[in-house]
């Protein structure tokens, strides 16, 4: 039910495979029995399949596993019987991989779960192209676009009524 709820939330949010998503937390299941499990029973295949289905539907990747393809490191452990598993994940849109600076599993303080961290490059660190705007003149042939701009222009002008610099107002309206 947990995974069905996640899928429902994503579906209700009108997300699709082109959305930029970051989904994280304790999924309480290991995805790779060989690398993410030490001791104990192997997870039920339906839980793993549910996560795999979510990943496929929304083009998500397990970024920690991508960056650590063969590493055995766990986010949950118990002493008796001895069991360790990686149950915590950051699932990110595949298109965001280049923005992920760093991800790691760090030791817990008074918890049976380790934290899995995710460091994302900020927009300030991103290189930007030239700031040259060009109007797509084919939009003038789109009646819906013209109606939208015509109806929105009055709202935008009211929103920016305190802007007296005509160049700045032009940039904001664009």
C-alpha to C-alpha distance for 155 and 74, rounded to whole angstroms? 53
- Residue 69: pLDDT band with limits 50, 70, 90: very high
Mean pLDDT across 50-68: 92
Highest mean pLDDT among 18-22, 71-75, 119-123, 153-157: 71-75
Q: Which residue has the higher pLDDT, 18 or 80?
A: 80
The reported pLDDT for the residue numbered 134 is 64
Residue extents of the structural domains in the chain: 2-123, 137-173
With pLDDT > 90 as the criterion, what percentage of the chain qualifies?
A: 23
Confidence of residue 128 (pLDDT cuts 50, 70, 90): low
Q: If we measure between CA atoms, which residue out of 105, 98, 108, 87 comes closest to residue 27?
A: 87
pLDDT band with cut points at 50, 70 and 90 for residue 111: confident
Q: How confident is the model at residue 63 (pLDDT cuts 50, 70, 90)?
A: very high
Q: Given this model, what pLDDT does residue 73 score?
A: 93
The average pLDDT across 157-163 equals 86
DSSP of 46-107, one letter per residue? HHHHHHHHHHHHTTEEEHHHHHSTT----SEEETTTTEEE--EEEEEEGGGGGGEEEEEEE-
Average pLDDT of the chain to the nearest whole number: 84
Which CATH number is associated with domain 2-123? 3.60.10.10
Q: What is the pLDDT averaged over residues 53-63?
A: 91
């Amino acid at each position: 039910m947990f995974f069905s709820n996640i899928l429902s939330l994503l579906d209700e949010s009108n997300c699709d495979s082109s959305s930029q998503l970051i989904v994280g937390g304790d999924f309480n299941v290991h995805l790779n029995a060989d690398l993410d499990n030490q001791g104990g029973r192997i997870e039920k295949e339906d839980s793993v399949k549910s996560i795999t289905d979510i990943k496929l539907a929304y083009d998500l990747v397990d970024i920690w596993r991508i960056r650590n393809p063969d590493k055995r490191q766990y986010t949950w452990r118990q002493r008796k019987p001895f069991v360790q598993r990686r149950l915590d994940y950051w699932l990110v849109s595949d298109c965001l991989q280049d923005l992920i600076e760093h991800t790691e599993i760090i030791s817990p303080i008074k918890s049976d779960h380790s934290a899995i961290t995710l460091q994302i490059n900020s927009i300030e660190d991103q290189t930007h192209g030239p700031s040259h705007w060009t109007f797509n003149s084919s939009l003038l042939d789109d009646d819906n676009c013209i109606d939208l701009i015509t109806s929105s222009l009055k709202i935008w002008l009211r929103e920016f009524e305190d802007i007296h610099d005509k160049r700045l107002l032009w940039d904001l309206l664009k």
